[in-house]
Structure 1
Amino acid sequence: MRKKSLHSLFAGILGLSILSCNVPAEEAIKKESWGQTPDGKAVNLYTLKSSSGLEVKITDFGGVITTVNAPDKAGNIENVVLGFDDLSSYLEKRSFFGAIIGRYGNRIDKGQFTLNDSTYQLSLNDGPNHLHGGTNGFDQKVWEATPVETAKGPALKLTYFSKDGEEGYPGNLEVTVTYTLQGDSLIVDYLANTDKATPVNLTNHSFFNLAGEGSILNHELTIDADAYTPVNETLIPTGEIKPVEGTPFDFTTPHPIGERIDQVPGGYDHNYALNKTEKGAMTFASKLKDPESGRTMEIYTEEPGLQFYSGNFLDGSQKSGDWVFEQYNGLCLETQHFPDSPNHENFPSTILNPDETYQTRTIMVFGVE
């Protein structure tokens, strides 16, 4: 069993106590060539292994997490994220599997917003709307990667420079995303600066399946949110923030995902307004458990929102080995600001100004029960 005191584990993650990395440097981070993009850019795959044995594979193409190898209660190791073994599968069809999403995670209504008396038109790639950074977002870019050995464990630092006007966004944006393994935890740090006011809402789009394959409908989910943001027919928030109590959106206590999904037309693809007593505080956001394998994942974040997506649009057109990715074979828990925030004054602001630094952290803690 690798179950630990949540308090002591969380304190260590936040730096109150530093875990030593017992894995030799040459074993903790491994780099291998992973092909090249159609325009000739070299792509590499990095394997990070923590002192506890948690193994994560990340490619500099889109900052994609391709693999998270974690044990179940019997010690069996399986990959608990949807991903592919080769670059060509990511290039053939855009899936967002495991990728860094930006400049703006989630949707912006009609791809339009007004900022400082100027109206901006973004690329449209989701019917009438702008989704996950547009037609050629951060998930499609080759990032500059730097492996780093830290006191907490192995890390991969990824940087990207987004030019003024890219996908319609104003301002030159310098972005750094760092993945760090510490014990049983994957820590994701986001950092960005701009020379012109611009919306920024970065996230990671991993699809999780703690069983290793098959349906996620029996996974038990908890979300620490008393409210959510309803959406219209194109999944754009209406602007309301409604209580979850008495609705199928209530995950304040654990519920199997499939228990009430038939009451949600199209399945879950909704933003939750996380319970926060202090703006920007690092707090518990969600817990996911697969009862059969015993695997768990807890999420902590400084973000105000969490998008729960139940894999509604997985359609069997992609696969990894013999596993064909069908509907509900994976789910996303994306820490974020709210969708379409530039068009809703009552939502937490996503505008980054030149005199500010965008800085936020999300932590995923893997375990067994």
Structure 2
Amino acid sequence: MPVTKEEYGHTANNQRVEQYTLSNVNGLVAKIINYGAAITELWIPDKNGKIDDVALGWPDIKGYESNSPYFGVIVGRVANRIANGQFSLGGVAYQLEINNGPNHIHGGVSSFSHRVWDGRINGNGVSFSCTSPDGENSYPGEVTITINYQLTNDNKVIMSYAAKTTKATPINLTNHSYFNLGGHDSGSVLDHIVEIDSDKYTPMDMETSIPTGEISCVDNTVFDLRSPTRLEDKINDVPGLGYDHNFCVKSSERPCATVTHKESGRKMKVYTTKPGIQFYTANYLNDSTIGKHEAVYPKHSALCLESQFYPNSVNQPNFPSCILHPGDTYKHETTYAFSWN
């Protein structure tokens, strides 16, 4: 079905923001704005044919301009945390903005999630592009990025990423959508059943949320989600406020994660070519988080599955490298496949 475009609003400095609507023959609808390249709505049928919006979000552009939870947006240059906002590359030490406790997170305050991207309709999808100048947010190299969203008739939302740089630089892009398969306004996701196809995870220091550098087996831990697990059966045993951990992806050919909501019959499978997936259970939302249609988004009212390089990989030589060099192209693809029965 054709992609449509309409005005979504204007930023505080009067930049026009467009919203693109993608739909398929089965009733799925995805709405994406060029501010932060954010998924604002994702409408999915249930087993009875009822269609609900399963993506948390804000009611207008003002919400996305603040957006401390990063609802639906593309984050970068580097998603997740960098310890103390520091790294060295080519003998040069870099100090990034500190915006998450002692750490740098998601590219900084004025990151890719807080800019108006260039958008264009691209067949049955939409492409967004932007250029990050050399030195922006203290990162080296001018980087050009393109992200393509597609909605297929077999009910897949496919995100394809590409980037090039003029200097060696860390790059780790991801989409930060919050999902509740019961509907964005339906409350807790602790009734969701989660399966993560991972034998290993990266333990972290609980005070800083920075990986220790170890890659550990999930055996006999709360991080063993290799069989379908109802969240409420394990989440209270997770150190801290809930899951906010990186799991090591085994294969791009099969789902790295599967989420099921029995009441609606909805199921979401996640595929990615990235080496890691961050499983986050919306631990920092609270009753004062008011989203679309005045819906309250309390703690654990959604979950995120963010494809990524491992957190702080720029400082961990034993982790897969996130460094992009001139002449090379950063590429990866992540797919969210939906079904209902």
Q: Into which bin does the TM-score normalised by the smaller protein fall?
A: over 0.9
Aligned partners of 2:76 and 2:113 also within 8 Å:
yes
Residue 159 of structure 1 corresponds to 129
| Residue in 1 that maps onto 2:161 | 190
Runs of 4+ aligned residues of structure 1 deviating over 3 Å after TM superposition are none
The reply on whether 1:169 has 2:139 as its aligned counterpart is yes
Looking at structure 2, the residues matched to 38 and 64 of structure 1 have their Cα atoms a distance apart, in angstroms, of 17
Q: For 1:92 and 1:196, how far apart are their aligned partners in 2? A: 30
CA apart distance, 1:46: 0.9
From 290, 304, 313, the equivalent of 2:261 is 290
Contact 1:125 1:135 in 2 (8 A): yes
5 Å-filtered alignment, 1:314-329, equals: 314-319=285-290, 320-329=292-301
Work out which of the residue numbers 65, 71, 80 in structure 2 matches 1:97: 71
In structure 2, distance between residues paired with 1:93 and 1:118:
32
1:234 and 2:208 matched: yes
* Contact persistence 1:210–1:296 (CA under 8 A): yes
RMSD: 1.1
Q: C-alpha separation between the residues in 2 aligned to 1:323 and 1:123?
A: 32
Question: Cα deviation per residue 1:65-117 (whole Å; 9 max; x = unaligned)?
Answer: 00110001001000011012311222244320000011001000000001111
| TM-score between both structures, scaled by the size of structure 1 | 0.89
The alpha-carbon deviation at position 282 of structure 1 amounts to 4.2
Offset at residue 304 of structure 1 (A): 0.6
Show CA shifts across 1:42-67 (max 9, x none): 11111111232210000000000001
2:303 counterpart residue number? 331
Which residue is 1:181 aligned to? 151
| Partner deviation per Cα, 1:344-366 (whole Å, 9 max, x = no partner) | 00000000000210011011101
| Inter-partner Cα distance in structure 1 for 2:174 and 2:146 | 12
Match of 1:355 in 2: 327
Letter in 2 for 1:177: I
Question: Aligned letter for 1:364?
Answer: Y
Distance in 2 (CA, whole Å) between partners of 1:45 and 1:285 is 30
The residue that corresponds to 2:61 in the other structure is: 87
Which of 152, 165, 177 pairs up with 1:206? 177
Distance 1:300 1:94 in 2: 26
Q: Secondary structure at the match of 1:167?
A: helix
CA contact (8 A) 2:27 2:45 kept: no
Between the aligned partners of 2:162 and 2:259, the Cα distance in structure 1 is: 27
Matched to 2:259, the amino acid is L
- Displacement of 1:337 in angstroms is 0.8
Identity of aligned residues (%): 43
Instruction: Output the CA distance in 1 between the equivalents of 2:15 and 2:21.
Output: 20
1:272 — aligned with what? 247
Q: In 2 relative to 1, CA 60–272 (structure 1 residues): closer, same or farther, beyond 3 Å?
A: same
Q: 1:351 and 1:239 mapped to 2: Cα distance?
A: 17
Residues 276-325 of structure 1 show CA distances to partners (whole Å, capped at 9, x for unaligned) of 4xxxx444211000111110000111011000000000012222224201
In structure 1, C-alpha distance between the alignment counterparts of 2:310 and 2:66, rounded to whole Å: 30
Conservation of the 8 A alpha-carbon contact between 2:37 and 2:74: yes
Q: TM-score, normalised by structure 2?
A: 0.96
**1:132-181 Cα distance to aligned partner (Å, 9 max, x none):** 111111000100000121xxxx1010001001111111000000000011
* Counterparts of 2:294 and 2:18, CA distance in 1: 25
Q: Distance in 2 between matches of 1:283 and 1:93?
A: 32
Amino acid of the structure 2 residue aligned with 1:89? G
Counterpart contact for 1:289–1:297, Cα < 8 Å? yes
Gaps of 5+ in 1: 1-22
The residue type paired with residue 43 of structure 2 is N
Indicate yes or no: 2:314 matched with 1:342. yes
The 5-angstrom pairing of residues 65-84 of structure 1 reads 65-84=39-58
CA separation of 1:240 and 1:185: change in aligned 2, threshold 3 A: same
Determine the C-alpha separation between the residues in 2 that align with 1:217 and 1:246.
21
Secondary structure, aligned partner of 2:163: strand
Letter in 1 for 2:268: M
For 1:271, the aligned partner's letter is: N
**Partners of 2:66 and 2:332 in 1: how far apart?**
32
Residues in 2 aligned to 1:282 and 1:131: alpha-carbon distance in whole angstroms: 29
Note the residue ranges of structure 2 that are not aligned, 5 or more in a row.
none
Cα distance in structure 2, aligned partners of 1:191 and 1:51: 28
Partner of 2:120: 146
Number of matched residues?
335
Give the superposition deviation at 1:246.
Answer: 0.7
Paired amino acid for 1:326:
P
Q: Deviations over 1:172-225 (max 9, x none)?
A: 000000001111000000000000000000000000000002100110001110
Tell me what 1:222 maps to: 195
Partner of 1:321: helix, strand, or coil? helix
